[in-house]
Amino acid sequence: MVILWALTGPLFHFSNSWQLVINTGTTIITFLMVFLIQRAQNKDALAIHLKLNELVAAVKGASNRLIDVESLSEADLNQLRKYYAQLVQMAKHDLDLGSSHSVEEAERRHHAKRASESARPG
């Protein structure tokens, strides 16, 4: 399109209306591209929220109040952020990283999950 527009320049004597055509065209294309990119990002963000909601709902001991956390007020979100910041500070006092995140713990969780899945009817 741009090459065709440039080739028609001498035909229209490089007039203001000739320049307006490309300006308008690029503006419209830019608007449409931003719209499409935003739509794809919104869909991706929604999918991530749903996956995280599934994880929160599935983890024993996790607060189900966090499933719809995006609908909370900004003050409530700040309160939650402070709470999790305190948890981070407590975790920093654990000198041994393996004490809270070990392969053995992961294996136990995996086997427990498999056992509960096989016990389900259907």
Question: Using one digit for the tens of pLDDT, what is the confidence trace for 27-86?
Answer: 999 999 999 999 999 999 989 988 988 888 888 888 887 888 888 899 999 998 898 888
Kindly state the tokens that stand for 101. 């995140």
Note the pLDDT tens digit of each residue in 111-121: 887 787 777 67
Ranked by mean pLDDT, the top range of 6-10, 37-41, 90-94, 108-112 is 37-41
At 68 the pLDDT is 82
The beta-carbon contacts of 12-18 under 8 Å, at least 24 apart in sequence, are none
Q: Where are the domains of the chain?
A: 1-71, 72-122
**pLDDT the model gives residue 103:** 66
**Rounded CA gap, 50 and 68, in Å?**
10
Distance (Å, rounded) from C-alpha 116 to C-alpha 122? 12
Residue 42 has a pLDDT of 92
Cα distance between the two ends of the chain: 59
Helices vs strands, H then E, count in the chain: 4, 0
The predicted pLDDT at position 28 comes to 95
pLDDT at site 41 = 93
